[in-house]
Chains A and B, each alone.
Chain A
Amino acid sequence: MADPFLSIQHVRKSFGATTVVEDFNLDVERGEFVSFLGPSGCGKTTVLRMVAGFEEPSAGKIVVGGKDITRLKPNQRNVGMVFQAYALFPNLTVAQNIGFGLKVAGMPRADIDARVAEMLDMIKLPQMADRYPYQLSGGQQQRIALGRAIAPKPKLLLLDEPLSALDAKVRVSLREEIRSIQKKLGITTIFVTHDQEEALSISDRIAVMYGGKAEQVGTPFEIYNRPATKFVANFVGTLNVLEGKVTDAASGKVQVNTQEVELKGKLNGSKSGDMLSLALRPEAISLGRQPGRDASLTGEISEVHFLGSVIRVRVGIGGNIVSLDTFNNSATPPPAVGEKAEISFSSSDMLVLH
Chain B
Amino acid sequence: MKAGRFWAWVVFALGAAYFFIPLIATVEFSMRMRRGVYSFDAYKVVLGDARFQATFGYSVLAAVFTIVLGVLIVVPAAYWIRLRLPQLRPIVEFITLLPLVIPAIVIVFGYIRMYGSNSPLPFLATDTGTNALLVIGYATLALPYMYRAVDTGLRTIDVRTLTEAAQILGAGWGTIISRVILPNVLIAVLSGAFLTFAIVIGEFTMASLLNRPAFGPYLQNIGANRAYEPAALAIIAFAITWGCMSLIQILSRFAPKSANRPN
Question: In the docked arrangement, what's the CA distance between A85 and B167, Å?
Answer: 16
Contact assessment for A75 and B171 in the assembled complex, using a CB-CB cutoff below 8 Å = yes
B257 CB contacts on chain A under 8 angstroms:
90, 132, 134
Q: Write the B82-109 contact mask toward A (1 if CB under 8 angstroms, else 0).
A: 0000000000000000000000000000
Within 8 A of A (CB), among B240-263: 256-263
Question: In the docked arrangement, what's the CA distance between A218 and B170, Å?
Answer: 33
The answer to whether A104 and B256 touch (CB under 8 A), given A54-B164, A89-B184, A90-B157, is no
CB distance from B82 to the nearest CB of A (A): 15
A52 CB contacts on chain B under 8 angstroms:
164, 168
**Nearest B residue to A87, CB-CB:** B165
Question: In the docked arrangement, what's the CA distance between A152 and B180, Å?
Answer: 18
CB distance from A294 to the nearest CB of B (A): 54
Does B166 count as interface, using CB distance less than 8 angstroms?
A: yes
Within 8 A of A (CB), among B114-163: 157-158, 161-162
CB distance from B92 to the nearest CB of A (A): 23
Does B183 count as interface, using CB distance less than 8 angstroms?
A: yes
The answer to whether A90 and B165 touch (CB under 8 A), given A75-B170, A85-B158, A152-B170, is no
Contact assessment for B165 and A89 in the assembled complex, using a CB-CB cutoff below 8 Å = yes
Q: Write the A177-213 contact mask toward B (1 if CB under 8 angstroms, else 0).
A: 0000000000000000000000000000000000000
Question: In the docked arrangement, what's the CA distance between A203 and B167, Å?
Answer: 27
CB distance from A97 to the nearest CB of B (A): 9
Question: In the docked arrangement, what's the CA distance between A101 and B171, Å?
Answer: 8
Contact assessment for B170 and A105 in the assembled complex, using a CB-CB cutoff below 8 Å = yes
Number of interface residues of B (CB under 8 A): 25
Contact assessment for A100 and B184 in the assembled complex, using a CB-CB cutoff below 8 Å = no
Contact assessment for B259 and A88 in the assembled complex, using a CB-CB cutoff below 8 Å = yes
CB distance from B116 to the nearest CB of A (A): 46
The answer to whether A104 and B169 touch (CB under 8 A), given A87-B164, A89-B162, A90-B157, is yes
Within 8 A of A (CB), among B167-205: 167-172, 175, 180, 183-184
**Nearest B residue to A78, CB-CB:** B170
Q: Which of A85, A90, A136 has the most chain B CB atoms inside 10 A of its CB? A: A90
Does A247 count as interface, using CB distance less than 8 angstroms?
A: no
A127 CB contacts on chain B under 8 angstroms:
none
**Nearest A residue to B169, CB-CB:** A101
Pick the residue among A74, A90, A149 that contacts B167 (CB under 8 A): A74
Contact assessment for A134 and B261 in the assembled complex, using a CB-CB cutoff below 8 Å = yes
Question: In the docked arrangement, what's the CA distance between A242 and B166, Å?
Answer: 51
Contact assessment for B259 and A104 in the assembled complex, using a CB-CB cutoff below 8 Å = no
Contact assessment for B263 and A90 in the assembled complex, using a CB-CB cutoff below 8 Å = no
B165 CB contacts on chain A under 8 angstroms:
81, 83, 87-89, 145, 148
B172 CB contacts on chain A under 8 angstroms:
75
Q: Write the A287-309 contact mask toward B (1 if CB under 8 angstroms, else 0).
A: 00000000000000000000000
Pick the residue among B168, B258, B262 that contacts A80 (CB under 8 A): B168
**Nearest A residue to B162, CB-CB:** A87
CB distance from B234 to the nearest CB of A (A): 39
CB distance from B261 to the nearest CB of A (A): 6
Contact assessment for B263 and A134 in the assembled complex, using a CB-CB cutoff below 8 Å = yes
Contact assessment for A91 and B259 in the assembled complex, using a CB-CB cutoff below 8 Å = no
Q: Which of A133, A134, A136 has the most chain B CB atoms inside 10 A of its CB? A: A134
The answer to whether A83 and B259 touch (CB under 8 A), given A74-B168, A104-B169, is no
Contact assessment for A83 and B169 in the assembled complex, using a CB-CB cutoff below 8 Å = no
A149 CB contacts on chain B under 8 angstroms:
168-169
Question: In the docked arrangement, what's the CA distance between A85 and B259, Å?
Answer: 10
Pick the residue among A54, A78, A141 that contacts B259 (CB under 8 A): A141
Question: In the docked arrangement, what's the CA distance between A78 and B258, Å?
Answer: 28
CB distance from B79 to the nearest CB of A (A): 15
Question: In the docked arrangement, what's the CA distance between A86 and B165, Å?
Answer: 9
Within 8 A of B (CB), among A144-169: 145, 148-149, 152
Contact assessment for A90 and B170 in the assembled complex, using a CB-CB cutoff below 8 Å = no
Does A229 count as interface, using CB distance less than 8 angstroms?
A: no
The answer to whether A100 and B166 touch (CB under 8 A), given A83-B161, A90-B259, A91-B183, is yes
Does A34 count as interface, using CB distance less than 8 angstroms?
A: no
Question: In the docked arrangement, what's the CA distance between A87 and B158, Å?
Answer: 8
Contact assessment for A91 and B256 in the assembled complex, using a CB-CB cutoff below 8 Å = yes
CB distance from B86 to the nearest CB of A (A): 15
Does A135 count as interface, using CB distance less than 8 angstroms?
A: yes
Does A79 count as interface, using CB distance less than 8 angstroms?
A: yes
Contact assessment for B258 and A85 in the assembled complex, using a CB-CB cutoff below 8 Å = no
B166 CB contacts on chain A under 8 angstroms:
89, 100
Question: In the docked arrangement, what's the CA distance between A91 and B184, Å?
Answer: 6
Question: In the docked arrangement, what's the CA distance between A52 and B161, Å?
Answer: 13
Does A73 count as interface, using CB distance less than 8 angstroms?
A: yes
Within 8 A of B (CB), among A81-122: 81, 83, 85-91, 100-101, 104-105
Question: In the docked arrangement, what's the CA distance between A24 and B111, Å?
Answer: 57
11 pairs of residues in contact across A and B, judged by CB atoms under 8 Å: A75-B167, A75-B172, A81-B164, A83-B165, A85-B161, A88-B259, A89-B166, A90-B256, A91-B180, A100-B169, A132-B256
